[in-house]
Amino acid sequence: MVRKRFTREFKLEAVRRVLEGDRTIASVARELGIGGGLLGTWKKAFEADVSEAFPGNGRLKDSEDRIRKLERENRELKQEVSFLKKTSAYFARDDHGGSK
């Protein structure tokens, strides 16, 4: 079974019909040919963050994208610090090329 994808505009319109009208989620869902649970999920996502609701296929919300970039940068910096510690310990050893 192929999973059907819906555009951001479709989702926003579906949620608008529920929020602005005097209609239930179930009646709007029936009218649009989608499940009530799905429409309920869209409504919750919209209410949780209006400005970043439904960012699109494969895209992250701006805040989530920023967190991922910072986590990646943090990992890279930890690796660099670890490398520098090992390098400095190597060169600080008395038996490495030092005078006797």
The domains of the chain are located at 1-57, 60-100
Contact 13, 42 (CB under 8 A): no
Cite the DSSP H helix spans in 1-99: 8-20, 25-32, 36-48, 62-92
pLDDT at 55: 64
pLDDT in tens, 28-51: 999 999 999 999 999 998 888 766
pLDDT at 37: 94
**Residues 6+ positions from 9 with CB-CB distance below 8 Å:** none
pLDDT at 100: 52
pLDDT at 58: 56
DSSP character for 3? P
Q: Could you say which residues of the chain have pLDDT below 70? A: 50-52, 55-61, 94-100
* Residue whose structure tokens are 């579906």: 14
Fold of the 1-57 domain: Arc Repressor Mutant, subunit A (1.10.10)
d(CA 31, CA 33): 6
pLDDT at 92: 85
d(CA 87, CA 34): 60
